[in-house]
Structure 1
Amino acid sequence: MRSKDTFVVIMAGGIGSRFWPFSRTNNPKQFHDVLGVGSSMLQMTVNRFRNICPPENIYVVTNADYRDLVKEQLPHLTQNQILCEPIGRNTAPAIAYASYKISQINPNATLVVAPADHVILKEEAFVQIIQEAVAAAEKEDILLTLGITPSRPDTGYGYIQFIEEGKHLKKVKTFTEKPNLELAQMFLESGDFVWNSGIFIWNVKSILHAFRQYLGEIAEIFEEGLLYLNKPQEEEFINRAYSHCRNISIDYGIMEKADNVFVLLSDFGWSDLGTWNSLYSIGNKDNAGNVIDGDVLLYDTRNCIIKTPQERLVVINGLENFIVAEYDNVLMICPKDEEQRVKDFVADVKSKKGSGYN
């Protein structure tokens, strides 16, 4: 059931460089139809909250460069629902901006903060979990995140260790960012670690109190701006404010320090779709284990992910465990187990070929 006191904040400002060459600075992955379903990641994210809150309670935080892309893909949003950052300063300033702005509109608001580029395969289960989380956050002074039961020792995700109490809602003990394989295996075997989904739920009073307590300089900046938020002077204030905000994540700035952090154990077919391997893991595979999006003929090729333009015929022979990705005049061919080098490729291309390819 949709509540007028529930607000959704969608984070859509990232570049997604690990998904290069498909995700580019001028057109990041959240604006692409990555799954080939006819909707971009951003559109799918907004759509899955349609039964959580009224459409006017959905806000998108993005880079000012992407304002027109957001308008084009979400024409029903008003100008006031698109929060444009002049520069990227990680998640803490973005969440502060949205939280202070919404607190002026509804001081009793409960916020759901979600990235724009996640895949949710079980949408009904997702809605139920979100409703359970919102109900808990409405009543309690807690900072809540959704934890995903891990299916493998993945080194690309952050992990949350919880204290065994309650049925689904657990007190958080520790956060660990992207462990090595040995540590990830230990986490999986222990049974008291979950993946950090990066989806947060809290009431606006709780998160503003946490900003004052743990990120006081950011709280001070936005409290000075309360006179300007939701007014014509907002953009001018934000341009000024962001020049004073440090680059810091909400996890490091608040969640790892606060003592009222809880995790709701969840299973709704989640992937953060941060890398080519994450897209491979959820993709439909042919009999040889290949995930294909494009006009492709394969011979003696196994366990590859291939994403190429429909207008180009691609013929591949004799590849195994490779990424083959082409988009906008860039072709990348890379072993799947070396996908962490994609960021190196992007840096090298920028330094050697200029900024037109990244």
Structure 2
Amino acid sequence: MGEKIIPLIMCGGAGTRLWPASREVRPKQFLPLFGTRSTFQETILRVSDPTLFERPIVITNNAYRFMVSEQLAEIESEADILLEPMRRDSGPAIAAGAAFAETRASDAIVLALAADHVVRDNAAFVEACREGLVAAGKGRIVTFGVAPERAATEYGYINPGEVVSGKVRSVKQFVEKPDAAKATEYVKAGYLWNSGNFMFRASVLLDEYRSVDAASVQAVSDAVAKAGRDLGFFTLDEAAFGSAKAISIDYAVMEKTGHAAVVPVACGWSDVGSWHAVWELSAKNGQGNAAQGMAVFEDSRNCNVMTDKALVALEGVDDLVVVATQDAVLVSRQKDANGLKRLVTKLKTVAPQVTEEHLKVHRPWGSYQSVDMGERHQVKRIVVKPGGRLSLQKHHHRSEHWIVVRGAARVTVNEAVKTVHENESIYIPIGAVHRLENPGKILLELIEVQTGSYLGEDDIIRIEDDYRRS
């Protein structure tokens, strides 16, 4: 059996190009945009053939660590999860993954993949990996060049050169995102879309990076060498990683190296960079309308609807995007991705909360969602996973009343521990030390009614916490 590939999944980005579904605390790679699985889960499954791929490495940040481990568990997959202490763009992230891969195998070959891309033909992608593996083994840094489906202006392009091995070609030139006329020229001349996914021997990538920025490679290598372990995660050393220069892998290595190669692939690839891209990838009715959630169309064509709960009805409109979440609604023209970027920039000054958080907030133990809020009260719906346990905590400004609607809760209030069943309730006075647990085998759901002079999430004094949050 030949060499195997270590997948390195880049999972720390927080774009808002798919607002309001994608937000800072739960970005698009964790969303089920096409069916029941997220693009992160689909990416993991794409590189799960044990005859070709080793156990993956996922690089993400502290805020997403439990989402990553939860979504891996949902698809019965495992990975080594590296936590970046801060964002430093793709250069240091990929270098950290490469350095970590070398701790597993000194001659490791790494496949760096974005967690938020879509591939519709997995077999074609895997075949391209097999092609790229040969060239990567010989010291090439192989990028995946996608055969263009149109003259796209939202992607960079690669001009392929001479054959290196099999279908792999050298890279004559990387070019930036073009205007429409240039894009048409590039497609006619046989250029490929630059997918931003790479395969390389870890040592080669690090050597090439070191030749242009030795200090950053040293910083990243130190961050890996000094990494800690916390709840099963690998935590990169903050001081070391923070001293690496923030830069993309394209600028740091790919546009400077003499080892760049490209494997052409036609695999139905998309970086899902806009709602228009989501529409292109979605199933549609006879009038070109796509919907996820409850939607009704009358005399409407080429529209895209995504809705959490509310029914969306469109009449007499064409080429619209409507995204309805529980606290924000987007109505947009299909093809103006830059318009959405300008809108989100404006929202960050007018209503930053709707770009950062959802009403439904995910926690390692489950989730909570605000249902109603007034000056001195808030009503939440809380869901706790089987075996899940909130921190032992207290509040200075609010009391709480919990009503169990499903499952059973084990509740600690000061020294007392009580099991509360469906249709039973319990009162938590202001200042009482308390904890909520789900000892059962099914989800625990309860309604929480808070009353008090201040109801912010920062009025939590954690005394003990399974998840080591401060």
CA deviations on 1:190-228 (whole Å, 9 max, x unpaired) are: 12x100111100111211111211232211212334542
Matched residue, 1:238? 237
Query: Which stretch of structure 1 is more off in the superposition, 154-163 or 209-218?
Result: 209-218
Matched, 1:98 2:115: no
Higher strand share: 2
Shift of 1:58: 0.5
Change (3 A) 1:212 1:231: farther
Matched residue, 2:292? 293
Q: Is residue 143–residue 207 contact of structure 1 (8 Å, CA) maintained in 2?
A: yes
**Cα separation, 1, equivalents of 2:3 and 2:304:** 43
Task: Find 2:332's aligned residue among 323, 331, 334.
Answer: 334
Q: 1:194-205, aligned counterparts within 5 Å?
A: 194-205=192-203
Matched residue, 1:27? 26
**Cα separation, 2, equivalents of 1:23 and 1:72:** 18
**Cα separation, 2, equivalents of 1:135 and 1:200:** 13
User: How many residues were matched structurally?
Assistant: 351
Q: Specify every segment of 5 or more residues in structure 1 that has no aligned partner in the other structure, as ranges.
A: none
The one-letter code of the counterpart of 1:32 is L
Matched residue, 1:147? 145
**Cα separation, 2, equivalents of 1:237 and 1:357:** 28
Q: Specify every segment of 5 or more residues in structure 2 that has no aligned partner in the other structure, as ranges.
A: 357-470
**Cα separation, 1, equivalents of 2:251 and 2:48:** 30
Q: Is residue 5–residue 106 contact of structure 1 (8 Å, CA) maintained in 2?
A: no
**Cα separation, 1, equivalents of 2:15 and 2:221:** 31
Q: Secondary structure at the match of 1:156?
A: coil
Change (3 A) 1:346 1:226: closer
Q: Is residue 4–residue 57 contact of structure 1 (8 Å, CA) maintained in 2?
A: no
Q: Secondary structure at the match of 2:131?
A: helix
Change (3 A) 1:307 1:227: closer
Shift of 1:12: 0.8
The one-letter code of the counterpart of 1:162 is P
Q: Is residue 220–residue 244 contact of structure 2 (8 Å, CA) maintained in 1?
A: no
Matched residue, 2:115? 116
Change (3 A) 1:54 1:299: same
Q: 1:209-220, aligned counterparts within 5 Å?
A: 209-220=207-218
Matched residue, 1:178? 177
Matched residue, 1:190? 189
Change (3 A) 1:48 1:227: closer
Task: Find 2:321's aligned residue among 320, 323, 335.
Answer: 323
Normalising by the residue count of structure 2, what TM-score does the alignment of the two structures yield?
A: 0.71
Q: Secondary structure at the match of 2:17?
A: helix
Q: Is residue 7–residue 55 contact of structure 2 (8 Å, CA) maintained in 1?
A: yes
Shift of 1:16: 2.4
Matched, 1:221 2:219: yes
Task: Find 2:311's aligned residue among 310, 313, 332.
Answer: 313
Give the alignment's Cα RMSD to 1 decimal.
2.1
Q: 1:29-108, aligned counterparts within 5 Å?
A: 29-36=28-35, 38-51=36-49, 57-75=55-73, 81-108=80-107
Q: Secondary structure at the match of 1:23?
A: coil
**Cα separation, 2, equivalents of 1:227 and 1:86:** 15
Change (3 A) 1:229 1:211: farther
Matched residue, 2:133? 134
Change (3 A) 1:41 1:333: same
The one-letter code of the counterpart of 2:254 is M
**Cα separation, 2, equivalents of 1:45 and 1:225:** 26
Q: Secondary structure at the match of 1:17?
A: coil
**Cα separation, 1, equivalents of 2:54 and 2:204:** 22
Normalising by the residue count of structure 1, what TM-score does the alignment of the two structures yield?
A: 0.92
Higher helix share: 1
Q: Secondary structure at the match of 2:86?
A: coil
Matched residue, 2:389? none
Identity %: 30
Q: Is residue 18–residue 342 contact of structure 1 (8 Å, CA) maintained in 2?
A: yes
